[in-house]
Amino acid sequence: MQSFASLNRLMDIINTLRGEKGCPWDKKQTPETMSVYLIEEIYELADAITSKKTEHIIEELGDVLFLILFILSCFEEKGIFDISDVADANAEKMIRRHPHVFGDKKVNSVDEVKQRWHKIKMGEKSNADKKSVLDAVPATLPALVKAFRISERAARAGFDWQNIDDVIKKAEEEWDELKKELSENQSDKKNHDAVSMEFGDTLFTLVNVARFAKIHPETALANSINKFKKRFQYMEKNIDDQGFQIENISQDKFNTLWDQAKNHAGNNL
């Protein structure tokens, strides 16, 4: 098959790069050093998927695939495991975690699938030594994603609000507490720490609002960032076209240009 030929070609390139006459930089790399680049490329892939640009997605998927195969090659070189070990282990896990597809179990909803998935996962050997339901959440996750995963795990264990209205009420309470701390003397170090904690509490509660609304906070924030970026860049271009420097624009002019950016027809801003 063409797909296997393409993968073999990529592996040949990696082996050449790490071979005797290969690249000095590539030969020095380890799974630890390459994992940092993999994390960065995952974010670039997520950004490409959000852009919905096919060429961009193909490029970033290729970068992620290359790094995964590169890391795999590092272990293969030492005889620790190879691609067959990785593929077989994952295939067995996927079959084990989908008994409603590969077995005779029945499910009636997506939520039931998720609950069964979690139960099977927690019963696996790799999770046997975890003392808390929260231990499955990687410590290195970005804070916003970690907040979502931790609240999700806690809710699955039964610790949750009854409905989204209760979460919104809690978010409003946290917002009021944040405003109260912000009204205090900001030169006080103790107060600064309190403001930081209340801000974090507000964010964490809003993450739970997102969870109840069945949206991912990371995706929602990324979309809002992209929207702001487009509007700001439209405003920058408008300022430049008028022969002005953005640093010299008044607040009133900024407000007018921002409204124009928001109302710009056909620009999806």
Evaluate whether 225 touches 194 at the Cβ level (below 8 Å): no
- Give, in degrees to the nearest 5, the angle at Cα 68 between 62 and 72: 140
What CATH number matches the domain at 2-86, 1.10.287.1080, 1.10.3720.10, 3.40.50.300, 3.40.50.2000?
Answer: 1.10.287.1080
- Work out the average pLDDT over 182-198: 79
How far apart (Å, rounded) are the C-alpha atoms in residues 13 and 219?
A: 34
- Work out the average pLDDT over 170-197: 85
Write down the pLDDT at residue 189: 63
Write down the pLDDT at residue 128: 61
Tell me the pLDDT tens digit for each residue of 123-159.
776 666 667 878 878 888 889 999 999 999 899 888 9
Residue positions counted in the chain: 269
Q: Which amino acid is it at 229?
A: K
269 against 125, higher pLDDT: 125
Write down the pLDDT at residue 188: 66
Question: Which sequence spans correspond to the domains of the chain?
Answer: 2-86, 97-127, 161-215, 219-263
**Taking the CB of residue 221, how many other CB atoms lie within 10 A of it?**
13
Tell me the pLDDT tens digit for each residue of 97-125.
999 999 988 888 888 888 888 788 877 76
Query: What is the SS3 assignment for 78?
Result: coil
Tell me the pLDDT tens digit for each residue of 210-259.
999 999 998 899 889 988 999 999 999 989 888 888 888 889 989 988 99
Evaluate whether 174 touches 199 at the Cβ level (below 8 Å): no
How far apart (Å, rounded) are the C-alpha atoms in residues 31 and 15?
A: 15
Evaluate whether 226 touches 50 at the Cβ level (below 8 Å): yes
Tell me the pLDDT tens digit for each residue of 33-85.
999 899 889 989 988 988 889 999 999 999 999 999 999 999 999 999 999 99
DSSP code at position 136? T
